[in-house]
């Protein structure tokens, strides 16, 4: 797994319909309508906000490297070359950028501080320099420990058991277990820097960091569905994005639930119809039970997707030429909810 | 309680280090004091201990967030919960929470810009204050090596007739700087406690080498044959990474440390160094504050520090346990030019000042004006401060004065590396002190260095930290 192969994967999904800048915004998690729509359309939600701290120059360097290696070709838009397609590889990432958006790092900080604290306390060491300096993290762990009733020693053992359990059950690779545990610091045992891990594992720093990030997402995904790990679940509180709708869209949703139509909501809220339609697109993208059948039929859905496949594009203007009877709103909705499961 | 008793019960020390007791006694008697203690010689205790013997809050003004965080962590480590740091890194919410509960803290750390915010200032003035501490007080003087215009604003703070005593702390200050500290902080006949700059445990060497390559080779050879733990100070982040990679290839546990690394990495590196898992650190001047490690045996400078103060501070991190330590400065002919370039880059010239001023006059926003005049952030902050106080001709004159100070400091460093008399004597003379050459292990010019103690014994080779299996690692950490 490398940064380049992630970029290639995203470029391929966007098949030449977006600029490099668009991909940069996706990786950094820009909260603009265009970016949010892009991640839906091109099904790259898992990469959204994957690298909130990616710098423009890092990104630029990667692009230049990939152009020099003839993996991509940029002419305003980005195209993946045949060589690039070969190089993309078939590895399936299990990132979940959409749900965590950088918050997984807070989980990692909490875990690091809790492990260090318990490791020292169980060894009878009460004075140590906290490995995490951020005040909110420190306060969280303080509160966390205050709420525990068992002794530090048994707490420590329980945490170890939970970690072992989640490592083996969340389908982390052995390498990922090594990386995640290798970052932890405790009594007389300090975590490794990225460089040290890179030397030891004979891989690049960037690659190791990506495996680490993926592992955090996998751990958090597992915890989300398995509440039987009380300590880790508590550490994960607030590390998942819980409201995906913008505030304005949420208000539109409430009115819709009370039975108002798109047009009624627009006039009630004194907003443009197109704005309200944007809210519906947002809802369709984020709610599993969005009642799309109130706006389109399954036949219309199939027809549009047939065109998408034939033309190999999701560009609305081209699709509108094929299906002039559908509104742009309906077309966007059909793209967002995806093709019918056959 | 007796001083000695508090010292033992709160801090676990049997006795005071030189000078501490004098400063504490003055403060307890309600008098102002200036404490000039070399790095690592127990400056902080001068305010931490009396805090426990007086009612009220201790307000500490500290210029660097990193330093502040470190002192907070250090107090917490000693079981002090009533401590808070208020700086621009707090979120609005955190700041409001801290300010609304201000009275419950014993130690309040503030950055100068926070302290000068009217709302904060008002809240602080309502507190019952035991005394004020101004840390790194030399920053207030433009004669100091890292003058901070923010600090000058503190002037207004201590002019009240009735105010709590002020303790000014610094690791380095010549008479001119001390004079500035006393004037600007409105100190009243303060007790001045100066601990000698000279650290007998440290021996000094200057090595003349032809070029950068020769320096690298010297370092490689040195590290192969002599002991750590040690720090190599270099000029840039890039060089820190580069050099540490070169050394690591030789099988010596080394890491680079600089402001460009993420916080988690810096924590891990510090911890490893303190625990003895790393033997060497290649660092920019970002490394040092907050490193509590007493057994550093060597400091090597691959570049020329810009001022004697910076040099003596960095070197002073060695040998805090009182055992021998070696400081080596590697010098090649072009280093003077390089350091001049770096220092003057942040200093605006006359043309820039006039242009910036005219832009501001024509109501160009500050940031844009700074950009157009090609000013660094440091430079524009400096100018903003001066332009508030003086007309533009005077500002030009002021900046020229600073320029001269910096030039003088670089000239001092040049005379240090080119000296053929005792280096120890030379170095402390820059701070207005006199000392005699040490009889043994003095410096490379005294030619009485016995470096046998530095030689690596053959046995301590290759102690590769064996990588634990992840299960074993978790077990070892958590049981
Ligand atoms: Zn000498």
Q: Domain with B99 in it: what CATH number?
A: 3.40.50.300
Whether A184 sits inside 8 A of B73 (CB atoms) is no
pLDDT tens-place string over residues A103-126: 999 999 999 999 999 999 999 988
Interface check for B75 against chain A (CB to CB < 8 A): the answer is no
Q: What crossing angle do the helices spanning A152-169 and B470-478 adopt, rounded to 10°?
A: 160
Interface check for B104 against chain A (CB to CB < 8 A): the answer is no
Cα–ligand 1 centroid distance for B426 (angstroms): 9
pLDDT tens-place string over residues A252-287: 888 888 888 899 899 889 899 988 998 898 888 877
At B83, is the secondary structure helix, strand, or coil? strand
How many CB atoms sit inside 10 A of residue B5's CB? Answer: 9
Per the document, the length of chain A is 342
Using the predicted structure, report yes or no on whether residue B145 has a pLDDT greater than 80. Answer: no
Instruction: Indicate whether B228 and B100 sit together in one domain.
Output: no
Distances (CA, A) of B90 to A133, B97, B98, B103: 12, 10, 10, 18
Nearest CA to B147 among B428, B426, B414, B386?
B386
| B425 assigned to some structural domain | no
Instruction: Indicate whether B163 and B226 sit together in one domain.
Output: no
Instruction: Indicate whether B76 and B189 sit together in one domain.
Output: yes
pLDDT classification of B93: cutoffs 50, 70, 90:
confident
Q: What is the pLDDT of residue B144?
A: 53
Structure tokens at A179: 């990386």
Q: What is d(CA A86, CA A88) in angstroms, rounded to the nearest whole number?
A: 6
pLDDT tens-place string over residues B255-303: 999 988 888 999 999 999 999 999 999 999 888 766 778 899 999 999 9
pLDDT classification of B172: cutoffs 50, 70, 90:
confident
The total of structural domains in chain B comes to: 2
Q: What is the mean pLDDT of residues A67-89?
A: 89
Q: What is d(CA A261, CA A209) in angstroms, rounded to the nearest whole number?
A: 47
Structure tokens at B364: 């160009």
Instruction: Indicate whether B148 and B217 sit together in one domain.
Output: no
Residues in a beta bridge with B35 = B169, B193
Q: Which chain B residue's Cα is nearest to A138?
A: B73
Chain B residues with CB-CB distance to A235 below 8 A: none
Provide the shortest C-alpha distance from residue B474 to chain A (in Å): 6
Q: What is the pLDDT of residue A173?
A: 94
| Burial (0-12, 13-18, 19+ Cβ within 10 Å), B49 | buried
Cα–ligand 1 centroid distance for B205 (angstroms): 9
Q: What is the pLDDT of residue B153?
A: 75
Of the residues B331, B357, B389, the one at which a domain ends: B331
Chain A residues with CB-CB distance to B270 below 8 A: 129
Provide the shortest C-alpha distance from residue B321 to chain A (in Å): 19
Query: What residues have their beta carbon closer than 5 A to ion ligand 1?
Result: B 422, 424, 437, 442-443, 446
Q: Which of A2-6, B38-42, B53-57, B463-467 has the highest mean pLDDT?
A: B53-57
Structural element, H or E, at residue B110: strand B107-110
Chain B residues with CB-CB distance to A163 below 8 A: 474, 478
Interface check for B471 against chain A (CB to CB < 8 A): the answer is yes
Buried b (16+ CB within 10 A) or exposed e, B424-458: bbbbbbbbeeebeebeebbbbbbeebeeeebeeee
Distances (CA, A) of A36 to A49, A255, A262: 11, 23, 21
Using the predicted structure, report yes or no on whether residue B40 has a pLDDT greater than 80. Answer: no
Using the predicted structure, report yes or no on whether residue B459 has a pLDDT greater than 60. Answer: no
Q: What is the pLDDT of residue B197?
A: 84
pLDDT classification of B155: cutoffs 50, 70, 90:
confident
Q: What is d(CA B310, CA B289) in angstroms, rounded to the nearest whole number?
A: 12
pLDDT tens-place string over residues B130-140: 999 999 888 88
Instruction: Indicate whether B292 and B154 sit together in one domain.
Output: no
CB pairs under 8 A between A and B: 94
Cα–ligand 1 centroid distance for B176 (angstroms): 26
Identify from B238, B264, B465, B471 which residue to disrupt to test chain A contact, counting A C-beta atoms within 10 A and taking the largest count. B264
Distances (CA, A) of B393 to A223, B328, B400: 66, 43, 11
Residues of chain A within CATH 1.10.10 domain(s) are: 3-93, 247-341
Using the predicted structure, report yes or no on whether residue A243 has a pLDDT greater than 70. Answer: no
Cα–ligand 1 centroid distance for B218 (angstroms): 22
Instruction: Indicate whether B137 and B233 sit together in one domain.
Output: no
Chain A residues with CB-CB distance to B66 below 8 A: none
Using the predicted structure, report yes or no on whether residue B451 has a pLDDT greater than 90. Answer: no
- The answer for residues whose C-beta is within 8 angstroms of residue B243's C-beta and 6 or more apart is B216, B219, B232, B234, B256, B282, B302
Distances (CA, A) of B301 to B215, B230, B251, B290, B420: 10, 11, 21, 20, 19
Whether A122 sits inside 8 A of B479 (CB atoms) is yes
Q: What is the mean pLDDT of residues A187-203?
A: 92
Predicted ipTM of the assembly: 0.77
CATH 1.10.3470 fits A247-341, yes or no: no
Q: What is d(CA A259, CA B408) in angstroms, rounded to the nearest whole number?
A: 79
Chain B residues with CB-CB distance to A164 below 8 A: 471, 474
Q: What is d(CA B167, CA B451) in angstroms, rounded to the nearest whole number?
A: 40
Whether A192 sits inside 8 A of B268 (CB atoms) is yes
Say which residue, A288 or A192, is predicted with more confidence: A192
Residues in a beta bridge with B280 = B230, B254
Give chain B's mean pLDDT.
88
Whether A193 sits inside 8 A of B255 (CB atoms) is yes
Q: Using the 8-state DSSP alphabet, how is residue B326 labeled?
A: E
Of A130, A135, A186, the CB nearest to B477: A186
- The answer for residues whose C-beta is within 8 angstroms of residue B418's C-beta and 6 or more apart is none
Q: Which of B317-321, B410-414, B454-458 has the highest mean pLDDT?
A: B410-414
Q: What is the pLDDT of residue A1?
A: 59
Instruction: Indicate whether B240 and B258 sit together in one domain.
Output: yes
Of the residues B331, B359, B381, the one at which a domain ends: B331
| B440 assigned to some structural domain | no
Q: Per-residue DSSP letters for A195-228?
A: HHHHHHHTS-HHHHHHHHHHHHHHHHHHHHH-TT
Of the residues B194, B214, B231, the one at which a domain ends: B194
Using the predicted structure, report yes or no on whether residue B54 has a pLDDT greater than 90. Answer: yes
Instruction: Indicate whether B8 and B111 sit together in one domain.
Output: yes
pLDDT classification of B149: cutoffs 50, 70, 90:
low
Interface check for B254 against chain A (CB to CB < 8 A): the answer is no
Residues in a beta bridge with B167 = B33, B133
Q: What is d(CA A181, CA A168) in angstroms, rounded to the nearest whole number?
A: 13
Strands B230-233 and B298-301: parallel
- The boundaries of the domain holding residue B269 are 202-331
Instruction: Indicate whether B77 and B125 sit together in one domain.
Output: yes
Chain A residues with CB-CB distance to B292 below 8 A: 129
Contact yes or no for B369/B432 (Cβ under 8 A): no
Structure tokens at B131: 């005394």
pLDDT classification of A211: cutoffs 50, 70, 90:
very high
Instruction: Indicate whether B42 and B89 sit together in one domain.
Output: yes
Q: What is the mean pLDDT of residues A198-215?
A: 92
Task: Give, in words, the CATH class of A3-93.
Answer: mainly alpha
Provide the shortest C-alpha distance from residue B456 to chain A (in Å): 24
Q: What is d(CA B48, CA B24) in angstroms, rounded to the nearest whole number?
A: 9
Q: What is the mean pLDDT of residues B162-189?
A: 89
Instruction: Indicate whether B65 and B167 sit together in one domain.
Output: yes
Structure tokens at A170: 């969340």
Q: What is the pLDDT of residue B131?
A: 95
> Lowest mean pLDDT: which of A123-137, B66-80, B340-354?
B66-80
Identify from B66, B271, B479 which residue to disrupt to test chain A contact, counting A C-beta atoms within 10 A and taking the largest count. B479
Interface check for B88 against chain A (CB to CB < 8 A): the answer is no
Structural element, H or E, at residue B367: helix B366-372
Cα–ligand 1 centroid distance for B423 (angstroms): 5
pLDDT classification of B42: cutoffs 50, 70, 90:
confident
Q: What is d(CA B429, CA B425) in angstroms, rounded to the nearest whole number?
A: 6
Whether A160 sits inside 8 A of B478 (CB atoms) is yes
Whether A112 sits inside 8 A of B73 (CB atoms) is no
Instruction: Indicate whether B184 and B222 sit together in one domain.
Output: no
| B472 assigned to some structural domain | no
């Amino acid at each position: 797994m490398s940064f380049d192969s992630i970029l290639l994967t995203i470029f391929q999904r966007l098949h030449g319909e977006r600029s490099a800048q668009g991909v940069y915004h996706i990786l950094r998690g820009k909260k603009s309508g265009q970016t949010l729509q892009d991640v839906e359309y091109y099904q790259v939600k898992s990469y959204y906000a994957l690298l909130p701290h990616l710098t423009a120059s890092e990104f630029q360097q990667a692009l230049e490297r990939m152009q020099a290696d003839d993996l991509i070709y940029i002419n305003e838009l980005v195209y993946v070359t045949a060589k690039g397609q070969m190089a993309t590889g078939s590895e399936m990432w299990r990132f979940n950028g959409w749900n965590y958006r950088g918050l997984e790092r807070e989980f990692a900080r909490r875990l690091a501080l809790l492990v260090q604290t318990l490791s020292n306390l169980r060894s009878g060491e009460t004075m140590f320099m906290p490995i995490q300096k951020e005040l909110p993290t420190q306060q969280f762990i303080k509160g966390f420990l205050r709420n525990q009733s068992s002794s530090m020693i048994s707490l420590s053992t329980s945490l170890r058991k939970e970690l072992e359990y989640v490592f083996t059950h969340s389908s982390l690779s052995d390498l990922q277990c090594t990386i995640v545990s290798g970052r932890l610091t405790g009594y007389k045992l300090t975590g490794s820097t990225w460089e040290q891990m890179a030397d030891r594992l004979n891989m690049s720093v960037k690659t190791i960091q990506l495996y680490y990030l993926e592992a955090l997402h996998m751990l958090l995904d597992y915890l989300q569905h398995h509440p039987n790990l009380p300590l880790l679940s508590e550490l994960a509180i607030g590390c998942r994005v819980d409201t995906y709708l913008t505030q304005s869209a949420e208000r539109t949703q409430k009115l819709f639930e009370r039975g108002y139509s798109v047009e009624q909501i627009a006039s009630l809220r004194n907003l443009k119809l197109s704005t309200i339609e944007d809210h519906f697109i947002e809802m369709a993208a984020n709610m599993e039970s969005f009642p799309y059948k109130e706006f389109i039929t399954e036949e219309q859905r199939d027809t549009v997707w047939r065109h998408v496949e034939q033309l190999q594009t999701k560009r609305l203007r081209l699709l509108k030429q094929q299906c002039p009877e559908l509104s742009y709103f309906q077309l966007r909705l059909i793209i967002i909810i995806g093709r019918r499961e056959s | 309680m007796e001083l000695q008793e508090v010292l033992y019960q709160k801090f676990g020390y049997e006795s005071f280090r030189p000078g501490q007791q004098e400063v504490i006694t003055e403060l307890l008697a309600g008098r102002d004091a200036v404490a000039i203690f070399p790095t690592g010689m127990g400056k902080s205790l001068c305010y931490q201990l009396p805090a426990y013997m007086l009612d009220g809050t201790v307000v500490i003004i500290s210029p660097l967030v990193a330093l502040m965080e470190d002192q907070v962590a250090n107090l917490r480590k000693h079981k002090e919960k009533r401590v808070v740091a208020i700086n621009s890194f707090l979120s609005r919410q955190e700041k409001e929470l801290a300010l609304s509960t201000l009275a419950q803290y014993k130690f309040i750390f503030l950055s100068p810009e926070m302290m000068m915010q009217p709302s904060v200032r008002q809240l602080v003035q309502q507190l019952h204050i035991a005394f004020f501490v101004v840390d790194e007080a030399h920053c207030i003087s433009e004669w100091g090596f890292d003058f901070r215009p923010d600090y000058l604003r503190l002037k207004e703070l201590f002019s009240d007739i009735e105010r709590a005593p002020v303790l000014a702390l610094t690791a380095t200050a010549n008479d001119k700087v001390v004079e500035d500290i006393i004037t600007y902080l409105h100190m009243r006949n303060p007790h001045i406690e100066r601990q000698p700059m000279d650290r007998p445990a440290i021996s000094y060497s200057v090595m003349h080498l032809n070029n950068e390559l020769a320096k690298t080779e010297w370092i490689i050879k040195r590290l192969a044959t002599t002991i750590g733990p040690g720090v190599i100070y270099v000029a840039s982040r890039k060089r820190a990474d580069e050099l540490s990679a070169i050394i690591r290839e030789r099988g010596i546990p080394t890491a680079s440390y600089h402001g460009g690394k993420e916080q988690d990495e810096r924590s891990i590196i510090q911890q490893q160094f303190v625990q003895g898992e790393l033997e060497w650190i290649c660092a920019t001047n970002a490394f040092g504050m907050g490193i509590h490690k007493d057994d550093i045996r060597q400091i090597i400078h691959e570049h020329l520090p810009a001022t004697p103060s910076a040099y003596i501070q960095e070197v002073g991190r060695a040998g805090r346990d009182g055992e021998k330590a070696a400081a080596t400065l590697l010098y090649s002919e072009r280093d003077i030019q390089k350091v001049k370039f770096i220092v003057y880059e942040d200093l605006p010239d006359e043309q820039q000042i006039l242009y910036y001023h005219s832009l501001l006059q024509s109501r160009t926003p500050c940031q844009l004006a700074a950009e157009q005049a090609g000013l660094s952030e440091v430079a524009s902050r400096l100018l903003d401060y001066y332009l508030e106080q003086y007309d533009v001709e005077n500002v030009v004159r002021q900046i020229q004065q600073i320029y001269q100070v910096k030039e003088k400091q670089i000239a001092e460093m040049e005379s240090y590396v080119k000296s053929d008399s005792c280096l120890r004597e030379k170095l402390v003379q820059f701070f207005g002190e006199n000392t005699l050459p040490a009889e043994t292990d003095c410096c490379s010019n005294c030619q009485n260095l016995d470096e046998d103690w530095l030689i690596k014994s053959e046995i301590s080779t290759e102690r590769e930290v064996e990588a634990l299996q992840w299960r074993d690692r978790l077990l070892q950490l958590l049981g």
